Chains A and B, each alone.
Chain A
């Protein structure tokens, strides 16, 4: 047998695979906000933890309240919502941070603070990249990450991929769905704003274009603690302002850069890591994953070349065989 052919094949197959890997080192920020991108600015410093946003979210997305084990034991359900975190029935969630005697709001030590969790509507969403059947898509105009149940096969790769653990799966259903916040796309289609922002009594959940929200956030983190600031209510363009005393902001906008940026932005007086938000690099997992995959499979050249070599090799080896399988 011809030695050169073997060497050629070895080089080809090893080369095809390693070429893709080398490019992986150079993953970078590759997607930018669409001009019409909408988002939510959640300012934890003015949130009072009333959970009106949660109730409104459930009402407008037809989600049932969750019962606690004590209620279940007594056969009482659907009276209080006692969900602990985001779940298949809870698409947004106010959570409490507390430390020591929790005597003062918006303080890291011996204080307490609120944080709201929901889908971050990433600029370059890992879930959209991960989904094998395009069940999760990023709306080209609004940038909302939307779910199509008719495409979904329930493989749960979106859940593995999401750095925020946002997509939830209905484990107790025979015919389950993935559930996540879609920023009330159905309400926005009728000219309304997301329910959580509409019903927030303090302006802590604020709807608007991401560009405006970022500008507003940049302004807020520079405010002097103790001064008074007119906080917009519900949406950036509502014209409804409430004066409030400014809390000592952490000079950081969570979501501006995380994983390539998100359309849901958070402000806080307590470090974000303490609020359970992950520390992420500025590039999305999707950009790393896709640069490797597309590096290996660019134009399908490497696989096709490899197949050509394999066909030749297999043909040469089998042509003289008779009855071997």
Chain B
């Protein structure tokens, strides 16, 4: 058993005001997008129909939201109860990440007022990877908030509801593991249909498994990274370091399997040479792999796994590597031909920055007002 506490303290700090300002700018730009169309705020084109809203907010955003999923896998399926203290904060970040990915999708899709068509049986296309991804993510957002709901019930002292919830929560936990397994792999499958438009260094039938493995690894990395970062930022003791060190060890086998599949597949398809032929793409490929090697090398040492600073760099590199792998697959390695180019516009970036700001503000509000973080041991 462990206790959780709301941190309390002042909410409207200076950083909070800055975040609020950034969110406000994004809000104005979002109004502009709805009045004048997507072209008014983005550099998207007929060649590059997806930009950072999809690649950062949805692909990277939901992978960063895999903390709840990855920890639930360990706690409930591999029965590692020791990680239970981490699960609530992880679930909360997951709920934010996925909810805001949903908001981004709403801003990004052109005919948003018909978004519900996804759920109308006569419109569903079961051949479409996008259908699977959209239906799965929408359901998972709901599941995440249900999984997180005991936190609200505790705050409201709704003991009756809490008791009932704890009896049936295993159903939501199970669905909450199934859904990310499905859509995090399918997010990778999305690019298979783009065929020759994606460089053969990234285009492979293994995309679903490669995306799933990195999403789970990023799930562990975000829990470690966020715990350490918030401990420092919120001036809490680094009590959890040994546990986080043990948790971060889970990234090693995942990354090794990832690399074996990745390089094995490239060798099998005779594409290893392309890494060196293709200047810019080769550079990005090597960058990705360096970022994946950093956590393997750092975390291989048991001594390093006890040091908060080493864990911080290892998990940070893991997150950057996973993010870069997603950017590469969807944007850098994506070449529609005909001279199309894409780099996000300032407005496009500001909307993404605004959404990240909202996420951080929500985190601050929640940890200060709700029993999310593990209580500091009574002195």
A134, A152, A288 — which one has the most chain B CB atoms within 10 A of its CB? A134
| Inter-chain contact B190/A157, CB cutoff 8 Å | yes
Most B CB atoms within 10 A — which of A150, A156, A315? A156
CB <8 Å contact, A156 and B110: yes
* A163 partner, pick from B123, B195, B209, beta carbons under 8 A: B195
Task: Give residues of chain B (190-216) contacting chain A, Cβ–Cβ below 8 Å.
Answer: 190-197, 205-206, 208-209, 212
Contacts of A279 in B (CB 8 A): 196
User: B170 touches which one: A1, A27, A87, A311 (CB < 8 A)?
Assistant: A311
Q: Pick the contact of A318: B76, B132, B197, B206 (CB < 8 A).
A: B76
Interface residues of B in 172-226 (CB under 8 A from A): 173-175, 177-178, 181-182, 185-186, 189-197, 205-206, 208-209, 212
> Residue B40 contacts which of A134, A172, A286 (CB distance < 8 angstroms)?
A172
B128 near A129 with CB under 8 A, answer yes
Interface status of A13 (Cβ within 8 A of chain B): yes
Of all chain A residues, the one with the shortest Cβ separation from B194 is A160
Q: Which of A75-83, A103-111, A302-310 contacts B (4 or more CB under 8 A)?
A: A302-310
Across the interface, A285 reaches (CB within 8 A) one of B75, B123, B124, B194, namely B194
Cβ-closest chain A residue relative to B172: A314
If A24-B205, A160-B50, A310-B178 touch, whether A292 touches B192 (CB-CB below 8 Å) is yes
Q: Is the CB of B195 within 8 A of A160?
A: no
The reply to whether B84 and A153 contact each other, CB–CB distance below 8 Å, is: no
Stretch of A14-22, A62-70, A199-207 at the chain-chain interface: A14-22
B102 to chain A, nearest CB (A): 13
Q: Report if B34 contacts A (CB, 8 A).
A: yes
Q: What is the CB-to-nearest-CB distance from B249 to chain A, in angstroms, rounded to a whole number? A: 17
Q: Which size class do B's interface residues fall under?
A: 35 or more
B113 — nearest CB in chain A belongs to which residue? A175
Identity of the chain B residue whose Cβ is nearest the Cβ of A134 in the assembled complex: B125
Q: Does B336 contact A (CB under 8 A)?
A: yes
B370 to chain A, nearest CB (A): 11
CA distance A289 to B132 in the complex (A): 13
* B337 and A161 form a contact (CB under 8 A): no
Majority secondary structure of chain B interface residues (helix, strand, loop or mixed) = helix
Given contacts A25-B205, A172-B39, A293-B129, contact A285 B192 (CB under 8 A): yes
Contact of B37 among A1, A6, A176, A178 (CB under 8 A): A176
Residues of chain B within 8 A of A324, CB atoms compared: 84, 150, 166
A9 CB within 8 Å of chain B: yes
Given A175-B111, A281-B195: A6 in contact with B84 (beta carbons within 8 A): no
Over the window 124-143 of chain B, the binary record of Cβ atoms lying under 8 Å from chain A Cβ atoms (1 yes, 0 no) is: 11011111101000000000
B37–A153 CB distance below 8 A: no
**Is A248 on the interface with B (CB-CB < 8 A)?**
no
Q: How far is the CB of B330 from chain A (nearest CB, A)?
A: 9
Residues of B within 8 A of A157 (CB): 128, 130, 190
Q: B88–A325 contact, CB under 8 A?
A: yes
CA distance A142 to B308 in the complex (A): 65
Kindly list chain B residues whose C-beta atoms are within 8 Å of the C-beta of A276: 337-338
A289 contacts B189, CB within 8 Å?
Answer: yes
- A216 interface hit (Cβ, 8 Å): no
Binds A, one of B20-28, B41-49, B284-292, B295-303: B41-49
* Known A-B contacts A321-B166, A325-B148; A293 and B75 likewise in contact (beta carbons under 8 Å): no
Contacts of A178 in B (CB 8 A): 110
Choose from B49, B132, B212 the contact partner of A159 (Cβ within 8 Å).
B49
Cβ-based interface call for B62 (8 A): no
B274 within 8 A of A: no
How far is it, in angstroms, between the C-alpha of A85 and the C-alpha of B336 when the chains are bound? 14
Contacts of A163 in B (CB 8 A): 194-197
The chain B residue with its CB closest to the CB of A297 is: B132
Instruction: Check A176 against B111 for contact (C-beta < 8 Å).
Output: yes
A21 pairs with B208, CB closer than 8 A = yes
Residue numbers in A under 8 Å from B134 (CB-CB): 132, 155
Any chain B CB within 8 A of the CB of A247?
no
Residues of A162-188 whose CB lies within 8 A of B: 163, 165, 168-178
Q: Can you add 5 more A-B contacts, CB < 8 Å, to A129-B193, A293-B189, A323-B150?
A: A1-B79, A155-B108, A279-B196, A280-B196, A314-B77
A-B pairs, 4 with minimum CB distance: A154-B110, A171-B39, A325-B150, A24-B205
A-B contact pairs, 30 of them (CB 8 A): A21-B208, A88-B46, A129-B125, A129-B128, A132-B118, A133-B114, A134-B124, A153-B111, A153-B117, A155-B105, A155-B130, A163-B194, A163-B195, A163-B197, A165-B340, A171-B42, A174-B35, A280-B196, A281-B196, A284-B195, A288-B192, A289-B192, A293-B186, A303-B182, A313-B76, A313-B79, A314-B174, A316-B79, A318-B170, A322-B166
Binding site for A on B (CB under 8 A): 34-40, 42, 44-47, 49-50, 75-79, 81, 84, 87-88, 91, 105, 108-112, 114-115, 117-118, 120, 122-125, 127-132, 134, 147-151, 154, 162, 165-166, 169-171, 173-175, 177-178, 181-182, 185-186, 189-197, 205-206, 208-209, 212, 334, 336-338, 340
